[in-house]
Amino acid sequence: MSTTSETDPERTPAGPGGAASDAAAREREQDRDLSAAGSQLSTAPKEDLPNLPALGVLGWVRWFWRQLTSMRVALLLLLLLSLAAIPGSLIPQNGVDRTRVADFREQHEFLAPIYDKLGLFDVYSSVWFSAVYILLFISLIGCIAPRTWQFVGQLRGRPPGAPKRLTRLPAYTTWRTEADPGQVREAALALLRKRRFRAHLAGDAVAAEKGYLREVGNLAFHLALIVMLIAFAWGQLFKFEGNKLIVEGQGFSNAIPQYDDRKYGNLFSVDEDLEPFSFDLKEFKGTYERTGPNRGTPRTYEADLTYSEGAYGEEKKTTVKVNEPLRIGDAKVYLVSHGYAPVVTVRDGDGKVVFKDAVPLLPLDSNVTSSGVVKVLDGYRNAEGEREQLGFNAFFVPTFGGSESGTMLSQFPGLDYPVLALSAYHGDLKADSGIPQSVYQMDKTKMKEFKDSDGELFKKMLTPGETMTLPDGAGTVTFEKDVKEWAGFQMVQEPGGGWALGGAVVAIAGLAGSLFIQRRRVWVRAVEGPDGVTVVEMAGLGRSESATVPEELGELAGILYDRAPGAPEPEPSAGSSTPPEPSEPSGSPGSPDPSDPSDSPDPRAVPAEGAEKP
């Protein structure tokens, strides 16, 4: 079989210099041949260096577009987006907690104006963050669109024909057979198609290709990134999130005034998009580990609810657990927190009840040591008959350690030994000033302390059922035996969450495919040799150096060898007593032993590496 191109003698210069020039020309031709064989193993765009002095306006625009849609720029923008999100997690954000932003402004008078100018209090809606986000979006689309079109063209086309010199490919093997060349090619074509190669006859060889899922995975990964970007943007624009603390026996209706705090996207419409529903908290159940190193760790958090969809929906029962929300339309109701609400009764000096309610207190530690305020705003008159307001700082422990413990800290989160400590004030709570107040804090600027017999702040520790009598006939405060529990719920409407999850799954699958699937090509050439015996050559080429291509080629060669077995070597020269042997694939480590049938020349044992690589 001829592996070099013939040269016209009239065009070949005489002498050693002419021979060297001819060899260089053949080498260049062979390199072009191999380059064509390995072309389009990927849809990555070719990057040509521009002729900068002759670009012009249109040329510069095209050059800028190529840079923007290149993979390295997309990765750079993705890195910038990650870095840009860091200030959003370290600096208080207006969209998350305006109170923390206000505190930050008071504590950092120099940094606050700078942060305002840079938009660091609203990172995710700032111009620079949006610019990076949009550029990344455009870069991904500009990168994927031409690659997708090119890949579709490759799927519609055929694998390129075999190079003239298959021995230059990384994986190569050959043998001689008495089978007809056409029969060998037909057998090779059937074998490769059975192994899910895209194969066709190209001249005296079969050209086949496999591993297109690698590029499919690559494109799927980038398409999934676009889907995720759209889903996140859509979710932020139409997102609604609100929190509500509900005591056992109380209810909630999904209306804006009902929320303790809320936030929503710029395109969210409260009148049209807010899901209509309501629910009541019937009972909260919490159990905790009693012994061992995990003592006090929650075992179960459950909230029994009755809910209805719409204004006149049928009432239904359900149980909401941690990470098992109630789903109503596009809304989800999550159980996010828990605490205690002691029932307190306040009477004036005449014994009239002026306040009786469960007062939710905020936990301070894992054992639910809690604090808060009891406020009596209306209906109270002091001993002189004057209208006043009462305020009590409250400190509650569900499991008191006893007076000998020397501390008012809970020893266990369950209600084993509840104790409520109160300190009393009277005066004006400034609730009518028009300034919003926290229900868990008390403004003492116009409040006076009740004094005990020693002239100190009047305070007392109460167990369920006990009563504290205020000085000078000002009234009484009773800690009722009924200690209720409260649960904190978060209501979320976030469209696009399903698309974001689906995009993440597809991105992982696509990335796995692009990493573990190798796109490779195989050629099988069968031609009649000078002595009339068919010479079979097989070669493989992958996008990168890998043991997969030689191993797969060896396996294919072994199967094809069974269908077109090796032929005896040519008759030995005169005087030689060596018997004829079957032909052996090139690259085999040594000659076979004719007396050992297990040492037959089988290409399966030789995932041969070519002697020369491109």
Q: Dump pLDDT digits (tens) for 460-488.
A: 999 999 999 999 889 999 999 989 999 99
From 151, 166, 201, the end of a domain falls on: 151
**How many residues are listed for the chain in this entry?**
614
pLDDT in tens, 260-293: 888 888 788 888 889 999 999 999 999 999 988 8
276 with 391, same domain?
Answer: yes
SS3 105: helix
Q: Which residues contact 492 (CB under 8 A, 6 or more apart)?
A: 239, 240, 241, 331, 332, 334
Please give the structure tokens belonging to residue 317: 């029962």
**Same domain as 167, residue 121:** no
- Indicate the pLDDT class of residue 28, thresholds 50, 70 and 90: low
383 pLDDT above the threshold of 70: yes
The whole-number pLDDT of residue 543 equals 74
What six digits make up the tokens of 590?
């040594």
Predicted TM-score (pTM) of this structure:
0.65
Residue 606 counted as domain residue: no
**CB–CB of 348/475 below 8 Å?**
yes
Domain check: are 356 and 453 in the same one? Answer: yes
Mapping DSSP to helix (H, G, I), strand (E, B) and coil, where does residue 12 land? coil
Quickly state the pLDDT bin for 597 (edges 50, 70, 90): very low
Q: Is 401 exposed, middle or buried (0-12, 13-18, 19+ CB in 10 A)?
A: middle
Q: Are the C-beta atoms of residues 394 and 372 closer than 8 Å to each other? A: yes
- Domain with 535, as residue range(s), is 158-210+518-563
Half-sphere exposure in the Cβ direction for 111 (13 Å, CA) = 12
Residue ranges in 85-126 assigned as alpha helix (H): 86-90, 98-107, 111-118
Dihedral of CA 169/175/180/184: which sign? negative
Q: Which of 59-63, 78-82, 233-237, 578-582 has the lowest mean pLDDT?
A: 578-582
Pair 380, 348: CB distance under 8 Å: yes
Please count the structural domains in the chain.
3
Q: Is the pLDDT of residue 490 over 90?
A: yes
* Distances from the Cα of 432 to the Cα of 9, 372, 373, 441, 446, angstroms: 110, 20, 17, 15, 13
Name the DSSP letter for residue 526.
Answer: E
255 with 353, same domain: the answer is yes
Instruction: Decide if 226 is inside a domain.
Output: no
Q: Are 149 and 43 in contact (CB under 8 A)?
A: no
141 and 202 belong to one structural domain: no
One domain, residues 548 and 428:
no
Whether residues 263 and 405 fall in one domain: yes
Determine which helix (DSSP H) or strand (DSSP E) holds 476, and give its type and residue range: strand 476-493
Q: Specify the pLDDT at position 610.
A: 39
Tens-digit pLDDT profile for residues 523-552: 999 999 888 899 999 999 987 666 788 999
> What DSSP line would sit under 286-354, residue for residue?
EEE--SSTTTT-EEEEEEEEEEEESTTPPPEEEEEETTB-EEETTEEEEEEEEEEEEEEEEE-TT--EE
300, 301, 304, 310: CA torsion to nearest 10: -140
Question: Does 254 share its domain with 338?
Answer: yes
Judge if 323 and 437 occupy the same domain.
yes
Whether 145 and 272 share a structural domain: no
Spatial strand order of the sheet with 198-202 comes to 171-177, 534-542, 520-528, 205-210, 198-202
**Tokens 């003698």 label which residue?**
9
